[in-house]
Amino acid sequence: MKLIMTTYGFSMGHDLYLAVPDNKNTRLYERQTNSIGQIAFYMLTVILFALPVLLVADNMLAFALSLVFVFIGGIFAGYIGTLFSKRKWRFRLNTGGLLLCLLISALNIALGGLFVPMVGNLYPENYENTTGFKKELALNSVFVWVFLIFLRASILISKDIVLLSYISSVSAILLMLKCIPFHPVHSYGAGRVIEWNKAVYGVLVIASVAVLYVIPGLIA
């Protein structure tokens, strides 16, 4: 009913934070989230969303391995970004946005064999409405973004290597999503970066466009 009667199915990457007085009577303890379990659940949703493409892929094993490599690698890259922070971070799969992802995936698969995964990301345990907090969120996304740019650039050496070709294709999907700066798709990473530094966002978009379209055109 929540999916049907509210905007829950179309709202992605959002959290609700409640400010309360910090005393023993009103302090709220957020339920601890197991990051490993959340990552496993996230990867399951990735595989399920990619299943229609996976079933018709020329090499199912190579495509499945590319999914695991790109998404797990992205999580690790984001983790490196959190090492510059003193905050405690946890990985979480956002449960909102299911209907939106299914709708876009269905359209993409019909048009070109693409899919749109749910949003999963590392989040600080505590929220702060500060510039420093926004910077740390952005650094997490920047590291993931740069990782994907380098993966996509592997297309230069992937002409005869099936696995690298799939890795490049999956990276391209995520890069396109990360370049979109408006709600609700900005939750894939653009939102964090553009809210912190628009110039950095612009550089990442230019680099993404280069590896998505310019370089492939030059080597074609």
- Which residue intervals of the chain are DSSP H helices? 2-5, 35-56, 60-82, 98-112, 131-153, 162-179, 190-196, 198-209, 215-219
Task: State the pLDDT at residue 107.
Answer: 82
Output the CA–CA distances (angstroms, integers) from residue 24 to 20, 27, 95, 127, in the order listed.
11, 6, 30, 20
Task: State the pLDDT at residue 73.
Answer: 97
Task: State the pLDDT at residue 115.
Answer: 84
Number of domains in the chain: 1
Task: State the pLDDT at residue 18.
Answer: 60
Q: Spell out, as residue ranges, where the chain has pLDDT lower than 50.
A: 26-30
Strand partners, 93: 120
Task: State the pLDDT at residue 28.
Answer: 46
Query: pLDDT (tens digit, 9 = 90+) per residue, 27-83?
Result: 444 455 689 999 999 999 999 888 888 888 889 999 999 999 999 999 999 999 999
Of 154, 124, 109, 134, the residue nearest 195 (C-alpha):
134
Of 104, 122, 101, 120, the residue nearest 112 (C-alpha):
104
Pull the structure tokens for residue 1. Answer: 């009913």
Task: State the pLDDT at residue 5.
Answer: 79
Task: State the pLDDT at residue 159.
Answer: 63
Which amino acid, one-letter code, is at 141? S
Quick one: 140 exposed, middle or buried, by C-beta within 10 A (0-12, 13-18, 19+)?
buried
Residue 76: which domain range? 2-14+22-219
What is the C-alpha to C-alpha distance for residues 70 and 168, in angstroms, rounded to an integer? 9
Q: For 214, which DSSP code?
A: I
Give me the sign of the Cα torsion angle 189, 191, 193, 198: positive
Task: State the pLDDT at residue 34.
Answer: 84
Q: What is the pTM of this model?
A: 0.86
